């Protein structure tokens, strides 16, 4: 993955947030909570993001998950569920999620930077080049909608209770989206993940999970609608496949490995999800964890498949064109 691939557009706000919150939440720090809220507000308003009122966003979550939203669902899943609920449905997209966090005593502050890029126009343009405009459906069949980014800040305690502190949103122009990095690809590139690692089938099996939200979502594909795995559920299964999930009292809790050494703006893990970039309902997703300790290796898990099931793959080392040969 590498630091450059993971961060893409560097997230200096993460480093500033880590330093500020870590200092503010020391025992006896005056006005710590209020100032931590200020730090969260700064994170969700940098680089063109605009803050959103969290009260209606929390109500949206409750409508999706129910009253136990704060205890049953990780920040990563909540972020993906919220983007799906708050943005118009699009059939052909790429999600890019980067997750960081700050630990201070009994509290963890999670920072989720999530982007969804509409690849429908790119795929349509490629189809026109290959088959001609007369043989290509109109823009609506491929998906019309913005490239949208969200930043979320969550507070989480040792019992697994998660509370949304702040949220911000922005849109990206097509030119901006084309320049941004989604791991080793530009975010509007159509290259497959096949080309960037020597993937092998995962040795262990990945079981089904039962989160308190629908594991399927409706996807419009051409003139039809079909059920596919929800992005939040895909992320949950990837985390399970890579060994980040522990079960406690019926909950599936994310256990995120911490970085050794000084604070950095490199996330603790990244997730990319490609949906329906080909001729059929199909999702290709990967979760990567960087080198976090002196003796660790960067590692990846990947899921590929459609509504009828997924295959899990793994790879070690940074993603790069041509694999790791």
Q: What pLDDT is attached to residue 104?
A: 64
Residue of 181, 151, 185, 117 lying closest to 48 (CA atoms): 151
Question: Which range has the worst mean pLDDT, 49-53, 127-131, 217-221, 253-257?
Answer: 217-221
Q: How far apart are CA 291 and CA 261, in angstroms?
A: 11
Q: What pLDDT is attached to residue 195?
A: 86
Instruction: Please give the tally of structural domains in the chain.
Output: 1
Q: What is the pLDDT of residues 243-256, one digit of tens each?
A: 998 876 667 788 88
Q: How far apart are CA 232 and CA 229, in angstroms?
A: 8
Token reading at 298: 């960067």
Confidence of residue 161 (pLDDT cuts 50, 70, 90): confident
Task: Output the 3-class SS for 252-311.
Answer: EEECCCCCCCCCCCCCCEEEEEEECCCCCCCEEEEEEECCCCCCCCCEEEEEEEECCEEE
| Mean local confidence (pLDDT), 87-111 | 87
Q: Is the pLDDT of residue 212 over 80?
A: yes
Q: What pLDDT is attached to residue 295?
A: 56
Q: From the CB of residue 203, how many other CB atoms can be counted at a distance below 10 Å? A: 7
Q: Is the pLDDT of residue 184 over 90?
A: no
Between 248 and 295, the higher pLDDT residue: 248
Residues 6+ apart with CB under 8 A from 35: 20, 24
Residue of 49, 66, 75 lying closest to 163 (CA atoms): 75
Q: What pLDDT is attached to residue 31?
A: 45
Q: Where is 206: in which H helix or E strand?
A: none
Q: How far apart are CA 40 and CA 154, in angstroms?
A: 9
Question: Which range has the worst mean pLDDT, 23-37, 174-188, 189-203?
Answer: 23-37
Q: Is the pLDDT of residue 15 over 90?
A: no
Q: Is the pLDDT of residue 55 over 50?
A: yes
Q: What pLDDT is attached to residue 29?
A: 46
Question: Which range has the worst mean pLDDT, 116-130, 139-153, 227-241, 243-257?
Answer: 243-257
Position 287 in a domain: yes
| Mean local confidence (pLDDT), 266-295 | 88
Q: What pLDDT is attached to residue 22?
A: 55
Position 86 in a domain: yes
Position 184 in a domain: yes
Q: What pLDDT is attached to residue 20?
A: 58
Q: What is the pLDDT of residues 57-81, one digit of tens each?
A: 999 999 998 876 556 789 999 999 9
Position 321 in a domain: no
* DSSP class per residue in 28-95: T-TTHHHHHHHHHHHHTTSTT-EEE-HHHHHHHHHHHH-TTHHHHS-HHHHHHHHHHHHS---SSEEE
Position 292 in a domain: yes
Q: What pLDDT is attached to residue 3?
A: 46
Going 99 to 102 to 108 to 110, the CA torsion angle's sign is negative
For the chain, the first-to-last Cα distance in angstroms comes to 15
Position 325 in a domain: no
Q: How far apart are CA 164 and CA 70, in angstroms?
A: 9
* DSSP class per residue in 179-193: HSEETTEETT----G
The rounded mean pLDDT for the chain is 84
Between 229 and 248, the higher pLDDT residue: 229
Confirm if 151 and 111 have CB atoms less than 8 A apart: yes
Q: What pLDDT is attached to residue 6?
A: 55
Confidence of residue 39 (pLDDT cuts 50, 70, 90): confident
Between 3 and 324, the higher pLDDT residue: 324
Domain that holds residue 178: 2-316
Confidence of residue 33 (pLDDT cuts 50, 70, 90): low
Confidence of residue 54 (pLDDT cuts 50, 70, 90): very high
Between 138 and 313, the higher pLDDT residue: 313
Q: How far apart are CA 56 and CA 62, in angstroms?
A: 10
Whether this prediction's pTM lies above 0.75 is answered by yes
Position 108 in a domain: yes
Q: How far apart are CA 260 and CA 311, in angstroms?
A: 32
Position 324 in a domain: no
Q: Is the pLDDT of residue 8 over 90?
A: no
């Amino acid at each position: 993955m590498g630091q450059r691939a993971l961060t893409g557009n560097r997230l200096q706000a993460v480093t500033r947030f880590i330093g500020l919150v870590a200092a503010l939440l020391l025992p006896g720090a005056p006005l710590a909570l209020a100032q931590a809220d200020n730090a969260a507000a700064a994170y969700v308003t940098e680089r063109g993001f605009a803050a959103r009122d969290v009260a209606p966003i929390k109500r949206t979550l409750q409508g999706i998950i129910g009253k136990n939203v704060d205890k049953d669902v990780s920040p990563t899943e909540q972020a993906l569920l919220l983007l799906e609920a708050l943005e118009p449905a699009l059939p052909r997209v790429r999600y890019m999620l980067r997750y960081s966090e700050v630990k201070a005593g009994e509290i963890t502050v999670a920072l989720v930077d999530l982007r969804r890029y509409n690849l429908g126009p790119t795929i349509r343009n490629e189809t026109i080049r290959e088959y001609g405009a007369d043989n290509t459906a109109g823009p609506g069949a491929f998906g019309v909608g913005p490239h949208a980014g969200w930043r979320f800040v969550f507070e989480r305690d040792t019992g697994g209770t998660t509370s949304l502190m702040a949220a911000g949103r922005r849109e990206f122009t097509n030119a901006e989206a084309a320049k941004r990095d989604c791991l080793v690809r530009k975010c509007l590139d159509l290259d497959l993940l096949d080309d960037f690692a020597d993937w092998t089938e995962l040795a262990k099996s990945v079981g089904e999970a039962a989160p308190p939200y629908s594991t399927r979502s409706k996807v419009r594909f051409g003139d039809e609608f079909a059920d596919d795995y929800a992005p939040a559920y895909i992320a949950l299964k990837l985390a399970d496949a890579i060994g980040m999930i522990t079960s406690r009292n019926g909950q599936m809790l994310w256990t995120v490995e911490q970085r050794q050494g000084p604070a950095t703006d490199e996330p603790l893990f990244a997730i990319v999800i490609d949906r329906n970039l080909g001729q059929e309902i199909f999702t290709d997703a990967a979760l990567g964890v960087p080198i976090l300790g002196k003796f660790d290796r960067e590692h990846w898990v990947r899921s590929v498949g459609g509504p009828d099931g997924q295959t899990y793959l793994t790879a070690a080392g940074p993603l790069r064109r041509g694999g790791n040969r």
